[in-house]
Amino acid sequence: MNWNLNTEHYYVRFAHEEDIPNIYALLGSNEVVKNHPKNPMVVEAQAMDEARRMVMQFEAKEAAFWLVEEKSTGKVVARLSFQKFNWVSASAQLRVDVFSDHKTQSVLSELIYAVATLAYEDLSLHRIEWLLLESDHSLVDLAKALGFNHDGQLLSFLEFEGSWIDYQVFSLLKTDTAWQQAIKNHGLGKS
Amino acid sequence: MKFVANVDFNGGQLRPLDQSDVDTIVKLYQKQTLAGQSTTASTEHAERMITLSVQMAATQRGLMWAMEVDGQMLGMLSLYDWQPTSLKTLMRLDVLPEITQLQQVEALRAGMDYLLKKYHLRNFSFHCLPTGDEAVINVIEQVGFTQQAYLRDFRRTSQTEFSDILVFNQILTTVSETPHEGESA
């Protein structure tokens, strides 16, 4: 099975040793991580640790991480991941770390369509879940535009800097009309 | 060493499971709606559950209480996915028809009060089926739980079938926040 994906504008690929600076640049950016919520990385050693964890979680079949390399510039502009693979319930949680200039519907529909195809077709998953902060308006709107259903909220899911964080739960099922339409149209969110 | 405490509630007590509970556990777990359950519960499963209940409590992964009324086990109140760092847990309530709704409400309140005081747990949730769990929903709503999410096809029920799950939550910050009879959350 080939985990490295190739979309029209991006290489959606696994990280390698030379990607430490790319991971650091991405996750050291407050604009990228603030809506997870998370503090940005402050030293490159954190990116090395993150890269190691990405490999370990993939080997344990708990998660899969892709860096998104823009074909035209060679720049890593995002990281996509499926976390909390649940092989019994055939589900996983989507997570998107992306620079704000690429946080657009056209970019993310291309990327999410690629990884969702792998999830549904190759990994036989049934449900992709996306946990978002209510305040992350751009991704909330985008999730809806791509056909994700708002399932509700998970209260006090985690504590961050002294505050309890609620997550909004969005889901896309393999059987959803939005996904079936995406297969026909070779893209998510296309009418 | 005892990892599961006895907790009194109005009309009965929550207590650790023991070997004498095997037959009741088998009765409770005849429900075919439980996740991953492909066959009806057996004595062997129940015995294993009692062993697991001790291990879960010892490692703070979960906890299982027998709900005892007048010396008889009439149900179980259980914790799964106990996350001590996030101060949260997922609960289950499994009962026999003999226990009253009021006794279930009292038992759940007493259990949550204990968990709040002893372990500072504050975020309690239940996963319920849209159909078949009406009795449990009735009880937890009386205690103050409210539905927060409807997770589509969240639980696999067979190779090709899935069930939606209703998520109910109650957040407590102090003991006094536990609503009393007739009060809303």
Distance of CA B145 to the CA centre of its chain: 13
Q: What residues have CB less than 8 Å from B157, skipping those under 6 apart?
A: B35, B163
Residue A134 near chain B (CB below 8 Å): no
A93, A149, A156, A168: best to mutate for the B interface, most B CBs within 10 A: A156
pLDDT value of position B32: 59
Q: What residues have CB less than 8 Å from B143, skipping those under 6 apart?
A: B105, B108, B109, B112, B170, B178, B179
Nearest chain B residue to A160, by CA: B86
Q: For the segment B27-50, what is each residue's pLDDT rounded down to a tens digit?
A: 998 875 555 555 666 888 899 999
- The answer to whether B156 contacts A158, with C-beta atoms less than 8 Å apart, is no
Residue B20 near chain A (CB below 8 Å): no
The proportion of chain B whose per-residue pLDDT surpasses 90, expressed as a percent, equals 75
- The answer to whether A126 contacts B123, with C-beta atoms less than 8 Å apart, is no
- The answer to whether A127 contacts B149, with C-beta atoms less than 8 Å apart, is no
3-state secondary structure of A126: coil
ipTM of the complex: 0.93
pTM, two decimals, is: 0.90
Domain ranges of chain A: 5-185
From the number of C-beta atoms within 10 Å of its C-beta (0-12, 13-18, 19+), residue A106 rates as exposed
pLDDT value of position B184: 47
Residue A152 near chain B (CB below 8 Å): yes
A127-132 and A163-173 beta bridge pairing: antiparallel
**Nearest CB partner across the interface for B36, out of A88, A126, A157:** A88
Looking at domain A5-185, which of 3.40.50.300, 3.30.1330.60, 3.20.20.70, 3.40.630.30 is its CATH number?
Answer: 3.40.630.30
The proportion of chain A whose per-residue pLDDT surpasses 70, expressed as a percent, equals 99
| Of B76 and B44, the one with more pLDDT | B76
Count of beta carbons in the 10 Å neighbourhood of residue A13: 16
Distance of CA B183 to the CA centre of its chain: 22
Residue A175 near chain B (CB below 8 Å): yes
- The answer to whether A91 contacts B154, with C-beta atoms less than 8 Å apart, is yes
Which of A87, A106, A161, A171 lies closest to A132, judged by CA? A171
Domain ranges of chain B: 7-177
Superfamily the domain B7-177 falls into = Gcn5-related N-acetyltransferase (GNAT) (3.40.630.30)
Is the preceding omega at residue B16 within 30 degrees of 0, hence cis?
Answer: no
Q: Please report which confidence band the pLDDT of residue B3 belongs to, taking 50, 70 and 90 as the band edges.
A: confident
Whole-number average pLDDT of chain B: 89
Q: Quickly list H helices, A40-163.
A: 44-59, 105-117, 137-145
Q: What residues have CB less than 8 Å from A88, skipping those under 6 apart?
A: B36, B156
